[in-house]
């Protein structure tokens, strides 16, 4: 997602190393696999503590730009499309965070529909990002998320949904992230 923001400012620049989004993808996949390990009896680590770390730490790390601004340091300005992309993904993150916390507090997280909601929101974010970043192939990623949403909802009461959720998260986030980070992407001119 960081790369999408950069693409709207600089179509040719490729970043080195793992982006915050790439780290976040991995931690979410670790959360799913860790929960699966706990359910199967392979891991003594409680899913609650695991998810708090897997979701909380990347979320805090993503706020470092805001912290720089609050500390009085200069924050580089982004163009209007980069700002629109940033706000789109920020709004999705806020929605998913508040919904997940509310579901956990209400005891609804055990009903299994949260993974499908996450997939649906990711589909919306990728589909909209395709237009904002002028990367039409991202629409197919959004459609794949929506297909994943249906599959995850259909399997919501089965334990196999946990490794499947990890696989979907890695494939549909890490795959496009890898393509974007490789610098081999060409935007469609308006």
Residue in the structure block whose two tokens are 């979701």? 55
> According to the model, what pLDDT value does residue 155 have?
93
Q: Which has the closest alpha carbon to 21: 118, 80, 93?
A: 93
Tens of each residue's pLDDT in the chain, 190 residues: 444 444 433 333 333 344 455 556 677 778 888 888 888 888 888 888 887 787 778 777 777 777 777 777 777 777 888 888 888 988 888 898 888 888 888 888 788 888 899 999 999 999 999 999 899 999 999 999 999 999 999 999 998 888 888 888 888 988 888 888 777 776 666 5
Backbone dihedral region of 28: left (phi > 0), alpha (psi from -120 to 50 degrees) or beta?
alpha
Look at residue 190 and tell me if it is in a domain: no
Look at residue 108 and tell me if it is in a domain: yes
Look at residue 141 and tell me if it is in a domain: yes
Residue in the structure block whose two tokens are 């699966």? 36
Look at residue 189 and tell me if it is in a domain: no
Domain residues for the domain of 168 are 2-8+17-182
Look at residue 188 and tell me if it is in a domain: no
Look at residue 70 and tell me if it is in a domain: yes
Q: Considering its fold, how many domains does the chain have in total?
A: 1
């Amino acid at each position: 997602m960081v790369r999408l923001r950069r693409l709207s400012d600089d179509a040719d620049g490729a970043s080195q190393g793992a982006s915050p989004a790439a780290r976040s993808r991995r931690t979410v996949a670790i959360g799913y696999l860790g929960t699966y390990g706990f359910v199967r009896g392979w891991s003594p680590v409680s899913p609650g503590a695991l998810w708090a770390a897997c979701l909380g730490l990347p979320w805090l790390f993503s706020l470092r730009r805001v912290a720089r601004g609050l500390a009085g340091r200069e924050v580089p300005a982004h163009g209007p499309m980069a700002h629109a992309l940033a706000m789109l993904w920020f709004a999705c993150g806020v929605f998913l965070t508040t919904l997940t916390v509310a579901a956990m507090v209400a005891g609804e997280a055990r009903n299994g529909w949260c993974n499908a909601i996450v997939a649906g929101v990711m589909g919306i974010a990728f589909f909209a990002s395709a237009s904002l970043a002028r990367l039409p192939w991202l629409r197919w990623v959004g459609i794949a998320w929506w297909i994943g949403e249906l599959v995850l909802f259909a399997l919501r009461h089965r334990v196999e949904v946990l490794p499947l959720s990890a696989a979907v998260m890695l494939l549909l986030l890490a795959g496009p992230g890898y393509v974007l980070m490789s610098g081999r992407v060409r935007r469609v001119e308006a």
